[in-house]
């Protein structure tokens, strides 16, 4: 049972073939259509298609025009690409500790990080696993306006904070279309914003800073001349990717319903397994269910590493999201950390385990994962469980758009 499976719909395969036969395969009309349709989907004014979410984060930070070397707050538990984006934009990451129950920073951990850097210029907010993060609350704790917040929504297509879709909450939101994401293309990313000038800057910077791309120069009436006024990247999306993305987007709501149903099944079955705890949700809203992450607690009496190996031995793939940034030598050299370290991230990391979750997963497969987790529970933990009743855990309020009722 693989941890993740990528499915490219028949419509997407045909769309890619049509582009390949068209004679124009790089950034062009299909990319423009995908941008328009995606912006409407997340209720944003503008969307700019790029080569990856990492490129999207870097381009968004560059477009903020922050002072060189400026401090940018970033969760300690995130993908390394997020910190690379900050560094490649000429800025400095400041690591923010997380609450081990949610894997997300809190206003208190943000305040500690602010003390470490003195005056942050911007903040990167991650919607970890697809759970809604309290964007405005974290920005307030940092003393920053939402104009200086970039959301890392690599997991969060389909997430809402309260009743607002992720994609239009802050100055810029960055999405991923990597092979395992909720909208899989294989590679690719998108920046959404309601700021027209920011959109112009990012659109220009994604292709070397050129004033006109090849598509526009070759349109009827187009001219070959262009200029470059500031630094840019080679980070554009191709029409092949965009055509796949447009077709995949038509399946998105159905895939999300499936993810929610499977996550609900996990939650029900794992409630009976001592020492395996799903993460709490940081703030009310809609969860995108990109990942189903649990904490392997001491009560389980089998460490996360051993459990991964034992599940693999039974043919069940798992993963870990993520290795904290300060556990990597490069970021220990290049990032700032709060005085006293990052105890929340350090406590959480040995517990983190991501279970299989994707739209092609069957109910029988989820039952099998949960049964193996229950079977691998050491007898001493199960015996102790019978002696001590487990108090109910408080849960954050969630909006469930794909089922009736709360």
- Catalytic residues, by residue number, are 181
| Residue entry with tokens 């390949």 | 20
Rounded Cα gap, residues 152 and 125, in angstroms: 6
Rounded to the nearest 10 degrees, how much is the dihedral formed by the CA atoms of 158, 164, 167, 172? -150
Q: HSE (CB half, 13 Å, CA atoms) of 404?
A: 0
Rounded Cα gap, residues 151 and 194, in angstroms: 13
What are the E-state strand segments in 291-386?
292-296, 352-355
Q: What interhelical angle do 304-313 and 363-375 show, nearest 10? A: 130
Rounded Cα gap, residues 70 and 62, in angstroms: 11
Rounded Cα gap, residues 190 and 60, in angstroms: 10
Contact residues for 9 (Cβ-Cβ < 8 A; gap 6+): 247, 248, 250, 251
Q: Determine the 3-state secondary structure of 233 from DSSP.
A: coil
- Output the CA–CA distances (angstroms, integers) from residue 343 to 88, 175, 183, 335, 354, in the order listed: 27, 29, 34, 16, 21
Rounded Cα gap, residues 267 and 278, in angstroms: 7
Inter-residue contact 53 to 174 (CB < 8 Å): yes
Q: What interhelical angle do 252-270 and 363-375 show, nearest 10? A: 30
Q: Which residues of 284-300 are buried (b: 16+ CB within 10 A; e: fewer)?
A: ebbbbbbbbbbbbeeeb
The count of other CB atoms within 10 Å of the CB of residue 364 is 7
Q: Determine the 3-state secondary structure of 277 from DSSP.
A: strand
The count of other CB atoms within 10 Å of the CB of residue 357 is 23
């Amino acid at each position: 049972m693989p941890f993740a499976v990528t499915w490219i719909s028949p419509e997407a395969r045909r769309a890619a073939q049509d582009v390949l036969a068209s004679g124009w395969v790089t950034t062009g009309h299909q990319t423009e259509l995908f941008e328009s349709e995606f912006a409407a989907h997340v209720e944003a004014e503008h969307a700019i298609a790029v080569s990856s979410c990492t490129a999207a984060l870097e381009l968004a930070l560059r477009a903020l025009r922050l002072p060189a070397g400026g401090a940018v707050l970033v969760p300690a538990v995130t993908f390394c690409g997020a910190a690379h984006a900050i560094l490649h934009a000429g800025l400095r990451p400041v690591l923010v500790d997380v609450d081990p129950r949610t894997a997300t920073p809190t206003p208190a951990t943000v305040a500690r990080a602010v003390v470490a850097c003195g005056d942050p210029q911007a903040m990167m907010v991650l919607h970890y696993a697809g759970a809604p993060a309290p964007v405005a609350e974290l920005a307030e704790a940092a003393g920053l306006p939402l104009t200086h917040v970039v959301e890392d929504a690599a997991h969060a297509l389909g997430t809402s904070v309260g009743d607002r879709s992720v994609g239009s909450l802050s100055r810029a939101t960055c999405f991923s279309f990597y092979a395992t994401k909720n909208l899989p293309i294989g590679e690719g990313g998108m920046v959404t914003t309601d700021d027209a000038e920011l959109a112009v800057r990012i659109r220009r910077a994604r292709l070397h800073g050129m004033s006109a791309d090849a598509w526009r120069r070759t349109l009827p009436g187009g001219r070959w001349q262009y200029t470059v006024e500031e630094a840019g990247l080679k980070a554009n999306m191709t029409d092949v990717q965009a055509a796949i993305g447009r077709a995949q987007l038509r399946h998105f709501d159905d895939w999300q319903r499936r993810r929610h149903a499977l996550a609900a099944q996990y939650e029900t079955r794992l409630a009976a397994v001592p020492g395996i705890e799903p993460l709490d949700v940081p703030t009310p809203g809609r969860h995108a269910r990109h990942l189903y992450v649990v904490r392997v607690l001491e009560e389980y009496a089998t460490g996360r590493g051993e459990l991964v190996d034992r599940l693999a031995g039974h043919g069940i793939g798992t993963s870990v999201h993520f290795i904290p940034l300060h556990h990597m030598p490069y970021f220990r050299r290049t990032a700032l950390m709060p005085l006293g370290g990052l105890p929340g991230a350090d406590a959480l990391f040995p517990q983190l385990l991501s279970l299989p979750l994707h739209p092609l997963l069957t109910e029988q497969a989820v039952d099998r994962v949960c049964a193996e987790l229950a079977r691998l529970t050491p007898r001493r933990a199960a015996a102790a469980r019978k002696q001590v009743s487990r108090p109910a855990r408080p849960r954050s309020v969630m909006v469930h758009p794909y089922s009736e009722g709360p």
